[in-house]
Amino acid sequence: MASTPSNRSQSADQPPAEQASSYGRHVLHNDDAPQESIQESTPENHSTPRVAAARAQQLFKQYGEGDTAVIALDHVDVEFGKNQFTAIMGPSGSGKSTLMHTMAGLDAATSGDVFLGDTNLTGMKDKEITSLRRDRLGFIFQSFNLVPTLTAAENITLPSDIAGNTVDQEWFDEVTSRLGLANRLDHRPAELSGGQQQRVACARALVSRPEIIFGDEPTGNLDSNSSTEVLQILRTAVDEDNQTVVIVTHDARAASYADRVIFLADGRVVDEMYDPTMDKILQTMSGIEG
């Protein structure tokens, strides 16, 4: 069971946007941003993150060559702050998945650098990247990506088992009971609902206490209740367990659970927002989409 986020004042049955007006602050980089908006939006914990869990420098990704070349990332500089929940939004084809995949070591950039903490992923061999992903990152995908022949418990411990790491049983019990999976641990994915399968994927990501959890449309295949559960799980992981979470989403409601939203268009970061609300996200998105 996910607890109510401690510092966002959200309740389980109320979308965050309905409460967000009391704390909603929007950082605009446009020169025409209202002055009070800028002053309001820079308290200690909302300024640009000082400690980056991951960062990209001049990240450039081109698919194809010549006439068919597509620039998916156009020299992106971005930081994902430690112990923050960041959502990446933008129109279809704006480069969201490419950004996340290159930062998570799932895809290589054409040029530029990606750092996880102080580790530069650029130029790492496949084997090194594979171990780094396994040892230091957690993943939640839209399609759950569970192994069908393994039980929920086996799926949750699989990355640790492969890495030869011992699973902290107390933490495993805490995570699985918090996520309402305690009496589903012997079930295989086909015997679980979509929401339960995604909670298993969340538990799998949380159990090894990775440096960052990356979610690629983690609520994209879920109904509204299951989406809320997953978003609250991620919110709680940040608020109570000091996790760092980065998700790609098309859903303004999902993004409104984040501390910060970055907006991409045509492979560039075009805006960002701290303490987002659904209304402000939708407004910004409609500005970007024209």
Ligand X SMILES: Nc1ncnc2c1ncn2[C@@H]1O[C@H](COP(=O)(O)OP(=O)(O)OP(=O)(O)O)[C@@H](O)[C@H]1O
**Which residues contribute to the site for ligand X (CB under 6 A)?**
63-64, 70, 72, 90, 92-98
CA distances (Å), 180 to each of 9, 113, 254, 279, in order? Answer: 22, 39, 21, 31
How far apart are CB 98 and ligand X at their closest, in Å?
A: 3
How far apart are CB 92 and ligand X at their closest, in Å?
A: 3
Nearer to ligand X, 16 or 90 (CB): 90
Give DSSP secondary structure letters for 154-219. HHHHHHHHHHTPPP-HHHHHHHHHHTT-GGGTT--GGGS-HHHHHHHHHHHHHHT--SEEEEESTT
How far apart are CB 250 and ligand X at their closest, in Å?
A: 6
Which stretches within the chain are classed as H helix? 17-20, 35-40, 96-103, 126-136, 152-163, 169-178, 194-207, 224-241, 252-255, 278-289
Distance CA 203, CA 173 (A): 10
Task: Name beta bridge partners: 60.
Answer: 74, 111
Q: Find out whether 238 and 83 touch, Cβ atoms under 8 Å.
A: yes
How far apart are CB 214 and ligand X at their closest, in Å?
A: 13
How far apart are CB 176 and ligand X at their closest, in Å?
A: 31
* C-alpha closest to that of 104 among 250, 267, 251, 216: 216
Nearer to ligand X, 84 or 249 (CB): 249
Nearer to ligand X, 89 or 202 (CB): 89
How far apart are CB 100 and ligand X at their closest, in Å?
A: 8
Nearer to ligand X, 41 or 219 (CB): 219
Nearer to ligand X, 24 or 218 (CB): 218
The residue type of 279 is: D
Nearer to ligand X, 97 or 145 (CB): 97
